[in-house]
Structure 1
Amino acid sequence: MPEFDLAFSASLTEETGHFKLLELPTEICALVENSLTPLRFSVKGQSSEDAVLCTPDDKTYTIRSVVLSNNILVVTSDPENDAAVVVRDQLTEILELTPTLPKLEKLTALLRGRDLDDVADNADGEPEPGISYEDAKSLIQASDGELASTLRKRRILDIRGKLRPIAPSYLTTILETILNHIVAQGLKPEAVPASELSATLADENEISVAVSMQVMTWFGNLNDGVWVLDVPAVHEPLTREELLRRWKLAVGDTFEASVALDLLSGNYLETASTGLFSADTLTYFPSSALPVEPASRFADLFLTRQRWRAEDISPFLSDIALNNKERDKLLLKYTRTTTDSGGQVYYTKR
């Protein structure tokens, strides 16, 4: 068994606390081992926030310290003596990574009041004050993949170098205009010439190319100048007052067969009829507008309704729970279950 001379570094006092030992989860180890190119991980978090580690694609991990029962020495070889090692530091803790949801609540605050809501506001021009995509990447505790997915889901545009949410009513107008052009020009939804369509929208409807091209990427695939329309995705009522009848009317006869209520999961509340001749009603209620912190999320949900059925509340928890198991843990922590005379189970405030 080889033997080595052990010595303490001359700069041990200065180096103490400079080293950290990070334990990698199995999935990150596999990512590192199987990657053919160098990987770049980022640690995000300001002084008032818990640090997170973000992978290059779509994972975010909370970093937490775990105290060790035994100290670990950090040693390096001695460049002047091959038979010696130098003690550089001693560690009493390791850093552990735990999968977590991206922390997106700051994005809402940063973009508040920046909605793009009419034709006059979307023309090309000089850069304006606001937050850029690069700013968001550094400030928001989420991986690049998670941030890009969130910007898409929340319908946030990059206009003149700044991020701007699009007002639901204006997006509805753009979608209706696009669908009308597709039908009027006899275009095939699976092969729409994107440049021609965006130029037509700019000339005839004053919708800038920058806006229409980004909207197209939200509702289909854009490759080599050809837009493949995702018909189910485009059927999305975005105003508070839209009901199913108006939704079908808005998309027209050509597309109304693809209208389905389950496409709106997590974006509406259904109120059952209360009279002999009254009908069920839908109210716009997007989960993206609710707080991300679980306690606040449940508080808002129970301010909206005093009791929830499992199938009604679940869509509003999918974006704060990694999986069904985590969702059930949240329900156990923040709710009580009650059963009515008919055997229906409800969740109520704890």
Structure 2
Amino acid sequence: MSRSREEVEATLQIAKLTAEDLRSTVQCLTFSETFTSGDFSLMELDDTLCKEIEVGGSLVIRGDKGDHAVLCSQNKTYDLKMADTSNLLLFIPDGKTPDLLPTDQLPLSIASCEIAGFSNHYWELRRCRPKLKRLKKLLQENVYEGPENEKDGSASVGVERQPPMLSWKVLESELSYTTEDLLNQIQASAEELMDHLKVIHACNIKGFWRLLDFDYEMKLLNHVTQLMDSESWSFSRVPLKVCLEELRPLEPEEMIEHCLECFGKSFSEDEETLFALDEDKICRATAQMLLQNAVKFNLSEFQEVWQQSVPEGMTTRVDQLKGLALVDRTSRPETIFLLKTEDLPEDTQERFKTLFVMREKWTEADISPYIQDLCEEKQTIGALLTKYARSSLQNGVKVYNSRRPVS
């Protein structure tokens, strides 16, 4: 029922307030006849997410049944966590915040507002890392090994820079995924997903994302570097047009261009597209090729073979292998072996456990490449080590070991 002005003034007197203390509109609350406590959920959004909604953007909750749900904007991922509050939160559809009420003080006007529901908890958002480990696992179900190895017998490929949103389908019992399919299964925002597809050198072939078989990728790179050597090109100036023309009989143009994009950066000069190849990326890929079939490699012998295997003019350095290979300087002779960050657990606690099972004590320089991706927004490697490891001095060098017993 509605309150009269006299009732409002009597309530103000009991509360020891005067009409001058209030805005000119008094909102009187009553419970709706359809009042409910279970039909509404609240979510706390920061200014960035609010603005994204206000301009017509959308927020998507992603995750399979066994996953902890995350919320994704266009470019960020957030953990969803239920938070309780001791204050009762009321849902008032017709209620107005102070900035929407007139500022005139008198005379008082009375507005009736219905309470549609209430809650004593809400969804709290916390920025988190996208969960991308599943992405490579999905794409490895159907790697691309070259046109001659495609089961449909196709001798050509079409690479689409902006893949169409096609439905998920099965090709001869092998799974292929469109962008939409991946967004439905990977807990990451659209931008984070697309960025990671570039990192793992995925290629969009006929609307479907495919990983290139590593040996095939190295075969493409070898074609390019051999051509550079025969033409005496600088690796900082590889002409795209000539490269495609010369290698067309060997591989599809789209694959050659994809290889250049993976291992270099394009630029234009006199209306010609050139590529500057990345020395570190090529040296790193070559090292992976040499190490992938060996359990351990004598470090000095490896460095010699490695230097001989890269294109002339490029210089190999052990620091190019951060997060890819690990050097054991305690062994005699010193050795190196393949250890890729992407093969380690995605969960922070499990990652540290795996690393400390592998090696009891780590220097910060050695462990940093393997935990860098675990750092949350504004979190440093030092803070991460303080939380999950214990430090000590060994021969004057600071080392880290597990805080928990490692079996």
TM-score normalised according to structure 1 size: 0.81
Alignment of 1:232-271 (within 5 A): 232=279, 233-236=281-284, 237=286, 238-241=288-291, 243-254=302-313, 256-257=314-315, 259-271=316-328
Q: Within 2, Cα distance between the matches of 1:331 and 1:191? A: 42
Return the offset for 1:312. 0.3
Cα deviations by residue, 1:184-240 (Å, 9 ceiling, x for unpaired): 33556555443542353331x2x2333333222222334677243242333322325
Structure 2 vs 1, CA of residues 200 and 304 (structure 1 numbering), >3 Å: closer, same or farther? farther
| Code of the aligned partner of 2:397 | Q
Name 2:188's counterpart in structure 1.
142
| Code of the aligned partner of 1:53 | L
C-alpha root-mean-square deviation of aligned residues, in Å? Answer: 3.2
The answer on 1:347 being equivalent to 2:395 is: no
Alignment of 1:254-293 (within 5 A): 254=313, 256-257=314-315, 259-272=316-329, 274-275=331-332, 278=333, 280-293=334-347
| Code of the aligned partner of 2:64 | Q
The answer on 1:110 being equivalent to 2:143 is: no
> Which entry has the higher C-alpha Rg, 1 or 2?
2
Cα deviations by residue, 1:7-31 (Å, 9 ceiling, x for unpaired): 4444434xx43333322235545x6
Structure 2 vs 1, CA of residues 41 and 323 (structure 1 numbering), >3 Å: closer, same or farther? closer
Cα deviations by residue, 1:227-282 (Å, 9 ceiling, x for unpaired): 4324233332232528443443333223x14x43323211110122744xx4x433
Return the offset for 1:141. 0.6
Cα deviations by residue, 1:157-178 (Å, 9 ceiling, x for unpaired): 3334333322333322221221
The answer on 1:53 being equivalent to 2:71 is: yes
Name 2:43's counterpart in structure 1.
22
Return the offset for 1:140. 0.6
| Code of the aligned partner of 1:346 | V
Q: Within 1, Cα distance between the matches of 2:31 and 2:68? A: 33
Structure 1 unaligned regions, length at least 5? none
SS in 2 for 1:313: helix
Name 1:124's counterpart in structure 2.
156
The answer on 1:153 being equivalent to 2:199 is: yes
Bigger mean CA deviation after superposition, 209-218 or 305-314 = 209-218
Contact 2:265 2:278 in 1 (8 A): no
Q: Within 2, Cα distance between the matches of 1:246 and 1:167? A: 23
Bigger mean CA deviation after superposition, 216-225 or 290-299 = 216-225
Structure 2 vs 1, CA of residues 336 and 6 (structure 1 numbering), >3 Å: closer, same or farther? closer
Structure 2 vs 1, CA of residues 166 and 49 (structure 1 numbering), >3 Å: closer, same or farther? same
Contact 2:142 2:176 in 1 (8 A): no
The answer on 1:215 being equivalent to 2:244 is: no
Return the offset for 1:296. 2.2
SS in 2 for 1:173: helix
Name 1:99's counterpart in structure 2.
127
Alignment of 1:28-107 (within 5 A): 28=49, 32=52, 38-57=56-75, 59-77=76-94, 83-107=111-135
Name 1:3's counterpart in structure 2.
26
Aligned length: 333
